[in-house]
């Protein structure tokens, strides 16, 4: 069962899940078609940076998707809450969140838009993760609420 979050956890998780897989599809399309189109006139170093950034985008989205799938597994009873919040199911750091990486030069507009949308989604999932952790900290290992002190 998903804990009660202020903005509705089931809706928050479901919306994040749908947004993540929609962005993954867009990133896949960009990697398949857009990178080649955008990199044609670039210098070798800029082409490398474009490809690296596109891979970082995919890695960030894959991390979000993995976290959401773990939460879905907890919700469905496929894994325990403790397993779902264990280290192997944690939200991985997003390489695009590093401000230094973002300041290396301009990128094609379509990639910039995908990055911006991904970062908004990543921050939303980070907040959900923190809220789920806060709720989990208020529960005993068996899932029962801890008694108030």
Task: Measure Cα distances from 147 to 34, 85, 137 in Å.
Answer: 55, 21, 12
CB atoms within 10 A of CB 30: 21
Does residue 75 register a pLDDT over 80? yes
Quickly list DSSP for 52-77: HHHHHHHHHHHHHHHHHHHHHHHHTT
Binned at pLDDT 50, 70 and 90, residue 121 comes out as very high
Flag the least confident range among 6-10, 46-50, 134-138: 6-10
Percent of the chain scored above 70 by pLDDT? 78
Output the average pLDDT for the chain: 80
Q: What is the pTM of this model?
A: 0.77
Q: How many CA atoms lie within 13 A of 115 on its CB side?
A: 21
- Give SS3 for 7: coil
Does residue 3 register a pLDDT over 60? no
């Amino acid at each position: 069962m998903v804990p009660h979050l202020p903005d509705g956890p089931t809706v928050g998780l479901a919306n994040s899940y749908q947004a993540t897989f929609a962005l993954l599809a867009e990133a896949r399309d960009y990697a398949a078609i857009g990178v080649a189109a955008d990199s044609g006139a670039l210098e070798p170093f800029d082409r490398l940076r474009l490809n690296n950034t596109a891979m970082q985008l995919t890695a960030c989205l894959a991390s979000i998707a993995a976290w959401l799938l773990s939460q879905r597994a907890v919700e469905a009873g496929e894994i325990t809450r403790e397993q779902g919040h264990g280290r192997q199911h944690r939200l991985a750091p997003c390489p695009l969140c590093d401000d230094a990486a973002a300041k290396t030069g301009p990128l094609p507009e379509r990639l910039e838009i995908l990055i911006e949308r991904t970062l908004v989604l990543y921050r939303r999932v980070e907040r959900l993760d923190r809220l789920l952790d806060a709720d989990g900290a208020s529960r005993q290992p068996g899932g029962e609420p801890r008694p108030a002190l």
